[in-house]
Structure 1
Amino acid sequence: MAVFAVQYTYIDDAQRLATFRPEHREHLAELLREGTLLLSGPLDDGSEALLIVVADSAEEALAKLDGDPFKRERVIADRVAREWKVVIGELHGA
């Protein structure tokens, strides 16, 4: 298993994001409990987010996030997964 940094870019619709945010966070909390998700949170002004995911490939990392209500409701404009090779420090659960 490897660690992937997944970057979400959201659509410009704060109301829709707010509507589905509780369900989105519940889903991510479940992925955290499963050990799939290690960290998650918004970047800067909230128009993007970074999620740290454990998977075998970038494609699998994105597939593991396919159940995200934000994806279902089409509030994610773009998703990119890149392998993150941690060389200093340690991620517990990775």
Structure 2
Amino acid sequence: MPIYAVTYTYTDDSAARDAVRPAHREFLGALVEQGINLVSGPFAAGEAPGALLLFRAADKQAALAVTETDPFRVQGLVRDVSVQEWTPVIGPLADQLS
């Protein structure tokens, strides 16, 4: 099944993100258990607020659909979502993800 790089761009409401973060992480943890979320995390301090999520999904639309029930999206804390199919080729994780 293909891998998709899902990029979130957050709104500027960091206080609301802090409040919703436990539910967001619980949601992403459930996706790990389902084999959908391979890895995810926020961009580092000093970068534009957002996150990168690597999902296994049947297609781009399915990867996007998974995000629709993310508490961050439900609460309006994600300003933009982009999805691109990604093919790991070189590096220690490439064999594990392919």
- Give the letter aligned to residue 84 of structure 1: W
Looking at structure 2, the residues matched to 19 and 25 of structure 1 have their Cα atoms a distance apart, in angstroms, of 11
Q: Is the 8 A contact 2:4 2:84 kept in 1?
A: yes
Runs of at least 5 residues in structure 1 that lack an aligned partner in the other structure? none
TM-score, length-scaled by structure 1: 0.92
Residue equivalent to 1:29: 29
Q: TM-score, normalised by structure 2?
A: 0.89
1:2-81 superposed matches below 5 A: 2-45=2-45, 47-81=49-83
1:85 to 60, 80, 87: 87
* Long gaps (5+) in structure 2: none
| Range moving further from structure 2, 59-68 or 21-30 | 59-68
Question: Matches of 1:79 and 1:10 in 2, distance apart?
Answer: 9
Letter in 2 for 1:31: L
Partners in 2 of 1:91 and 1:34 — Cα distance? 20
CA contact (8 A) 1:4 1:58 kept: yes
**CA RMSD after TM alignment:** 1.5
Quote the offset at 1:91 in angstroms.
5.7
CA contact (8 A) 2:88 2:97 kept: no
SS of residue in 2 equivalent to 1:49? strand
Aligned length: 94
How far apart are residue 38 of structure 1 and its match? 0.2
Q: How many percent identity over aligned positions?
A: 38
| Range moving further from structure 2, 7-16 or 60-69 | 60-69
Change (3 A) 1:69 1:49: same
**Aligned counterparts of 1:31 and 1:12: Cα–Cα separation in 2:** 26
